[in-house]
């Protein structure tokens, strides 16, 4: 020994050469690797150890002998001068201590150094051992992904059927296949049916799990179809705005058998229902605004529909309504144009939004509006200009039919204008013959033509002129006859005016004059009779006056005036007849005989002049009679003299209203009976203060004795001193 550690002893793999005393030519025994962790899949045998399986850990080969090296070292040893080693035991003890320490440290390092695990992704599998395949398969399977489980199965499934570990391999393949099927089930519940089916079909055909694949896939597809049908039906219900039906269908997803449909899609459908409900309310509001009519309401309705997003199930309906509302605005513009409100029509047209998709109709409408405004001039030149303008709308335009209809009407109108111009020229002289000729010319305009209404108005005007010319002499002669003013002249005037038949131009005027003359005749005939009746009334003979005045019949001119006099005279007569009876009843009441007074006053029947006055007196007397009855009852109660009866009497008297005539007597008696109660209470105070207090407390606050009673109560409530 030289006392130094030779670093050449150590090898790169961590092994260490034996001491120099061992010949170098002897083979170095292989290192013993620590055993690999035991895998659940593999039950290794002593023959199949990890160290023998892993190619990276093959035993080291013995080193060849190196004679030249030994000779060189020998020569160096020969050349070195001899060294005298110390003989002190302390030195050698220290050397031994250092040697043992170094050897211990080296041993620990060797023991702690683990062999490197195999890198499964980098292994060339065609030459890999069975143990390595099993080991890497287990590592892959532990990741619990479909890809890794299938990779694990493929690693060990290629091993021979007669392999000693085949039973264990088959059990693991079956377990991993079931895990793949369960992962496919999870994928199905996560909402990816296609991936779940694809995963399930990758399970090896020689496993029991594979026998479940078709049944499982069929179940998944059935569940998926049912869920999709429920979802589609709910969407269809939303499009029909049947929200209750959609919600009822949505609840069917909760038990469909798939977590994705029961949670994610159910929440998604509920969100759709909520959004659709909001959009449905907007549609209802928009329809309500549109029904109210007017440009402002239609624009507000369109704005509401524009708020419905494309993803909404009601978006298609909203777009349809926008087009409908736009057409409603187009109709309003047409109505304004029919009223010859050109500016208003163009203003409405300019407000129709582009989303109504009526751009082509609007463009044509502008052309037709301008053409119609030109035709309003009414002349042949104006109408011809309008026709030329409308002919700009070609056959492929949306309002081509409307343009052709207007052109046809204007062409007819040109003919009508010619007839009307000729008729007006004929009517200018104003004679009945000329007017009849003008009417005949205007009648040439057929019914349904644009100017037929104008022609009819002209015909009616000219007919009235003819009738006026024909009938005016009758009315003039009647006026002349009526100017005499006597009955015979007035009757002759009525006869003459009656020759004007109903429907003629002067018939209304003749009828008014006939009514006036009829009133004059009736007044002349009935006035003496009414004067006679008034004379009788002034003489006091009201019954005779009434008889004479009632002879004027309702259809006569003086009937209302006669009836007013009759009603006044009848009231005077009834008052004269009933007043003594009412006076007698009032006299009885003043004497306190209310029952007799009421009986007499009730003899005046309804409809008589004094009936209302009699009824008012009867109500007053009944109230007074009731107050007297209450006072009588109170008298009766108070006459008993006991505290309870006195209190009852006071209560009865207090029930009489303050406006009643007997109220003054009632208040006097209340004060009298209250003092009587106070005296009774004072008489009880010495023997029984409690009873005295109870009696005094029944005295009402509106009585004169109340303050004294309250003072006594306070005194009686104070404790008596010793």
What does the DSSP assignment read for 406-433? HHHHHHHHHHHHHHHHHHHHHHTT--HH
Between residues 620 and 710, the one the model is more confident about: 710
pLDDT at residue 179, rounded to an integer: 83
Q: Range with the lowest mean pLDDT among 74-88, 293-307, 542-556, 573-587?
A: 74-88
Between residues 96 and 239, the one the model is more confident about: 239
Residue 245 has pLDDT above 70, yes or no: yes
Q: Range with the lowest mean pLDDT among 92-96, 204-208, 685-689?
A: 92-96
Please say whether the beta carbons of 360 and 398 come within 8 A.
yes
Residue 36 has pLDDT above 60, yes or no: no
Residue 59 has pLDDT above 80, yes or no: no
Between residues 21 and 555, the one the model is more confident about: 555
Round to whole Å and give the CA distance between 493 and 474: 9
**pTM for the model:** 0.45
End-to-end CA distance of the chain: 134
pLDDT at residue 11, rounded to an integer: 36
Residue 199 has pLDDT above 80, yes or no: yes
Closest listed residue to residue 333, CA positions, set 375, 361, 374? 361
- Other beta carbons within 10 angstroms of residue 95's beta carbon come to 13
Residue 262 has pLDDT above 80, yes or no: yes
Joined together, the tokens standing for residue 668 give: 């006097």
pLDDT at residue 721, rounded to an integer: 44
Alpha helices for 639-705 (secondary structure H): 643-654, 663-685, 689-696
Query: How does residue 134 score in pLDDT terms, banded at 50, 70 and 90?
Result: confident
Tell me the mean pLDDT in the region 306-319: 90
* pLDDT tens for each residue of 332-364: 998 988 888 889 999 998 898 888 888 888 888
Round to whole Å and give the CA distance between 662 and 641: 23
Between residues 115 and 449, the one the model is more confident about: 449
Residue 181 has pLDDT above 80, yes or no: yes
Return the DSSP state at 39: P
Query: How does residue 320 score in pLDDT terms, banded at 50, 70 and 90?
Result: very high
Report the alpha-carbon angle 261-264-266, nearest 5.
65
- Burial-class residue 453 by CB neighbours within 10 Å (0-12, 13-18, 19+): exposed
Per cent of the chain over pLDDT 90 is: 13
Consecutive H or E run containing 537: helix 507-538
Report the alpha-carbon angle 607-611-615, nearest 5.
135
pLDDT at residue 504, rounded to an integer: 86
Tell me the mean pLDDT in the region 88-112: 70
Task: Provide the β-strand partners of residue 214.
Answer: none
| DSSP conformation letters of 613-634 | HHHHHHHHHHHHHHHHHHHHHH
Round to whole Å and give the CA distance between 50 and 33: 8
Round to whole Å and give the CA distance between 326 and 322: 6
Report the alpha-carbon angle 100-104-110, nearest 5.
145
Query: How does residue 370 score in pLDDT terms, banded at 50, 70 and 90?
Result: confident
Beta-strand (E) ranges in 435-590?
none
The alpha carbon of 594 is separated from its chain's Cα centroid by a whole number of angstroms, namely 70
Please say whether the beta carbons of 3 and 83 come within 8 A.
no
Please say whether the beta carbons of 465 and 430 come within 8 A.
yes
- Map residue 606 onto helix, strand or coil: coil
Task: Provide the β-strand partners of residue 392.
Answer: none
Round to whole Å and give the CA distance between 560 and 578: 27
Enumerate long-range contacts of 410-415, CB under 8 Å, 24 or more apart. Answer: 410/375, 410/383, 410/384, 410/386, 410/450, 411/387, 412/449, 412/450, 413/375, 413/383, 413/449, 413/450, 413/451, 414/380, 414/383, 414/384, 415/445, 415/449
Please say whether the beta carbons of 393 and 364 come within 8 A.
yes
Round to whole Å and give the CA distance between 517 and 514: 5
Round to whole Å and give the CA distance between 56 and 206: 35
Helix, strand, coil tally for the chain in percent (to 5): 70, 0, 30
Query: How does residue 234 score in pLDDT terms, banded at 50, 70 and 90?
Result: very high
Query: How does residue 545 score in pLDDT terms, banded at 50, 70 and 90?
Result: confident
Residue 58 has pLDDT above 50, yes or no: no
pLDDT at residue 45, rounded to an integer: 34
- Other beta carbons within 10 angstroms of residue 596's beta carbon come to 16
Please say whether the beta carbons of 265 and 228 come within 8 A.
no
Round to whole Å and give the CA distance between 583 and 604: 12
Per cent of the chain over pLDDT 70 is: 81
Query: How does residue 128 score in pLDDT terms, banded at 50, 70 and 90?
Result: low
- Burial-class residue 471 by CB neighbours within 10 Å (0-12, 13-18, 19+): buried
Query: How does residue 555 score in pLDDT terms, banded at 50, 70 and 90?
Result: confident
Alpha helices for 264-399 (secondary structure H): 266-292, 295-306, 315-338, 342-350, 359-375, 380-390
Beta-strand (E) ranges in 17-155?
none
Round to whole Å and give the CA distance between 511 and 523: 18
Please say whether the beta carbons of 585 and 597 come within 8 A.
yes
pLDDT at residue 332, rounded to an integer: 92
Q: What is the mean pLDDT of the chain?
A: 78
559-590 helix and 542-549 helix, angle to the nearest 10 degrees: 150
* pLDDT tens for each residue of 386-409: 888 888 888 888 888 888 888 888
């Amino acid at each position: 020994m030289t006392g130094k550690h030779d670093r050449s002893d150590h090898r790169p793999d961590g092994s260490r050469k034996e001491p120099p005393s061992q010949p170098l030519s002897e083979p170095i025994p292989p290192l013993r690797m620590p055993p690999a962790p035991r895998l659940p899949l593999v039950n290794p045998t002593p023959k199949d150890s990890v160290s023998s399986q892993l190619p990276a850990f093959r035993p080291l080969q013995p080193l060849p002998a190196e004679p030249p090296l030994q000779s060189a070292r020998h020569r160096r040893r020969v050349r070195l001068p001899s060294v005298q080693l110390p003989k002190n035991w302390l030195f050698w003890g220290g050397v031994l201590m250092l040697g043992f320490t170094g050897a211990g440290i080296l041993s620990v390092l060797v023991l702690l150094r683990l062999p490197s695990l195999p890198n499964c992704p980098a292994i060339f599998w065609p030459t890999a051992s069975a143990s390595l395949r099993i080991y890497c398969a287990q590592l892959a399977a532990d990741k619990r992904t479909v890809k890794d489980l299938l990779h694990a199965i493929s690693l060990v499934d290629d091993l021979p059927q007669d392999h000693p570990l085949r039973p264990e391999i088959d059990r693991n393949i079956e377990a991993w296949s079931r895990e793949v099927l369960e992962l496919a089930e999870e994928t199905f519940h996560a909402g990816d049916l296609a991936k779940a089916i694809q995963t399930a079909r990758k399970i090896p055909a020689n496993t029991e799990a594979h026998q479940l694949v078709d049944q499982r896939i069929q179940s998944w597809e059935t569940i998926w179809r049912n869920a999709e049908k429920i979802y589609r039906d709910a969407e269809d219900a939303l499009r029909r705005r049947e929200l209750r039906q959609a919600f009822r269908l949505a609840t069917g997803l909760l038990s469909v058998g798939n977590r994705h449909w029961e949670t994610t899609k159910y929440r998604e459908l509920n969100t759709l229902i909520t959004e659709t409900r909001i959009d449905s309310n907007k549609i209802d509001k928009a329809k309500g605004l549109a029904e109210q009519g007017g440009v402002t309401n239609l624009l507000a309705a369109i704005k509401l529909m524009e708020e419905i997003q494309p993803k909404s199930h009601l978006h298609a309906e909203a777009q349809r309504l926008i087009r409908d509302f736009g057409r409603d605005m187009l109709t309003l513009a047409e109505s304004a144009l029919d009223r010859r409100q050109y500016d208003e029509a163009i203003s409405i047209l300019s407000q129709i939004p582009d989303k109504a998709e009526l751009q082509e109709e609007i463009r044509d409408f502008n052309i037709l509006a301008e053409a119609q405004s030109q035709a309003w001039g009414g002349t042949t030149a104006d109408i011809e200009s309008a026709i030329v303008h409308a002919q700009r709308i070609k056959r492929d335009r949306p309002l081509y039919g409307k343009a052709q209809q207007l052109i046809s009407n204007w062409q007819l109108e040109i003919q009508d204008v010619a007839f009307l111009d000729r008729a007006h020229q004929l009517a200018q002289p104003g004679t009945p013959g000329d007017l009849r000729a003008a009417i005949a010319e205007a009648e040439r305009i057929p019914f349904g033509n644009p100017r037929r209404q104008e022609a009819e108005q002209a015909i009616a005007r000219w007919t009235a002129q003819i009738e006026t010319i024909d009938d005016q002499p009758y009315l003039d002669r009647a006026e002349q006859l009526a100017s005499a003013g006597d009955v015979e002249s007035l009757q002759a005037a009525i006869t003459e005016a009656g020759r004007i038949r109903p429907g003629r131009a002067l018939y209304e005027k003749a009828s008014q004059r006939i009514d006036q003359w009829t009133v004059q005749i009736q007044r002349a005939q009935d006035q003496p009779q009414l004067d006679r009746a008034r004379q009788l009334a002034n003489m006091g003979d009201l019954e005779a006056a009434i008889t004479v005045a009632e002879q004027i019949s309702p259809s006569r001119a003086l009937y209302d005036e006669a009836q007013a006099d009759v009603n006044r005279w009848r009231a005077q007569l009834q008052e004269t007849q009933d007043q003594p009876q009412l006076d007698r009843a009032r006299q009885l009441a003043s004497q306190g005989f209310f029952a007799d007074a009421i009986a007499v006053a009730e003899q005046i029947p309804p409809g008589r002049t004094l009936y209302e006055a009699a009824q008012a007196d009867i109500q007053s007397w009944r109230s007074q009679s009731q107050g007297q009855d209450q006072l009588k009852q109170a008298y009766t109660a108070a006459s008993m003299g006991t505290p309870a009866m006195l209190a009852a009497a006071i209560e009865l008297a207090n029930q009489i209203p303050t406006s009643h005539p007997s109220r003054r007597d009632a208040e006097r008696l209340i004060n009298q009976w209250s003092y009587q109660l106070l005296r009774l209470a004072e008489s009880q105070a010495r023997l029984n203060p409690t009873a005295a207090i109870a009696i005094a407390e029944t005295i009402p606050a509106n009585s004169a004795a109340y303050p004294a009673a309250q003072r006594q109560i306070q005194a009686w409530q104070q404790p008596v001193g010793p």
